[in-house]
Structures are given as structure tokens and as C-alpha cells.
Amino acid sequence: MSRLLMGLFGLALLAVPAQAADYYGYGNTGYTGTPYQSGLHRLPICDEPKVLSKVTGQLAIYDANIIGTGQRVESFDGIRETKVDVGGPGLIPRRYCGATAYLTGGQTTEVVYLIEFQAGLASIHWNVEACLPGRDPYRVYGSWCRSIRP
């Protein structure tokens, strides 16, 4: 009985049509961000609140444990998508973003961040990596955050 069910399941998978090669699905996303969706999962755009919350949280943890300046990101401005890498040589779709971050104390700085598809917990969600160029003393992301730039 289990062989029959597994065989039927396999045939059902073969009957599903393949996805088209155009993953972009251009649409009105507010700032010309390019949506990407595969199955039930989607790669969020640069200015989504969940993405910006992850960027803020990651930079706060980095400041508390590494830099120690006590500065936090208060807001973002000029959020932009610099590149979407889908269907390229890598298997993980990536969205490269940049913005101006307003820090506590009135300072502004550039922030670059990368949104990766299926790179979260158990590869079933998206993940964000963020960096402040010039404020990475151990060069975790390379010189001037080079490893998370397009």
C-alpha cells in the first residue's frame, strides 16, 4: 500500500508544470523593488518593515557586542535596491539593498544589507545580513562591507 501511495505521489510531482524562467514578475512595489516568489515563499523587498526590523536588530546586537558605541539606528532614508541576483551562477536568490541610516546622536551613515532567499532557519525562510561601511573593525563582511555588495 505504501509503495502505491509513493508511486502516486511521484506521478503527481511529475504532473506539476515547471515554472517559467522569468522569476521577476515586475510590478508596482513602491520604489521599483522587484518581487520574487518561488512556491509558497517569497523574497521580500528592501523597504518592508520586517526587513528593516531585522537590519536594526542585527546592527544593535553588533554594536552591543563588538563596536560598543551605544548608537542605535533610529530610522532609514533613501532605501534602494542595488541588484537582484536570481537565476545567476549561485543557487540562492539574493537582493542587495542600501540606505542612509539615522543613528542616535544625530549621525548619519550608509548601511548596506543583503536579503537571501531560503537562507534562514533550516533553509525555509529568508535571512538578512547588514553592515555599516567603515564601522566594521574586524572586517566581518570584508573591507567596506564588500562581501554583501553586488
- pLDDT per position as a tens digit, 105-138: 899 999 999 998 876 666 678 889 999 998 888 8
Q: The cell 508544470 sits on which residue?
A: 17
DSSP readout, 77-123? EEEEEEEEE-SSSSSS-EEEEEEEEEETTS-EEEEEEEEETT-SGGG
Residues 73-85, mean pLDDT to the nearest whole number: 92
39 pLDDT above the threshold of 70: no
25 pLDDT above the threshold of 90: no
Quote the pTM value.
0.71
Q: Which amino acid is at 122?
A: A
pLDDT at residue 139, rounded to an integer = 87
Smallest CA-to-CA distance from 47 within 21, 10, 87, 76 is with 76
Number of domains in the chain: 1
pLDDT at residue 18, rounded to an integer = 36
CA–CA separation, 47 vs 62, rounded Å?
21
Q: Which of 36-45, 69-78, 114-123 has the lowest mean pLDDT?
A: 36-45
Domain span at 131: 2-148
pLDDT tier, 26 (very low <50, low <70, confident <90, very high otherwise): very low
**Residue 68: φ, ψ to 5°:** 75, 30
If one counts every other C-beta atom within 10 angstroms of the C-beta of residue 61, the result is 10
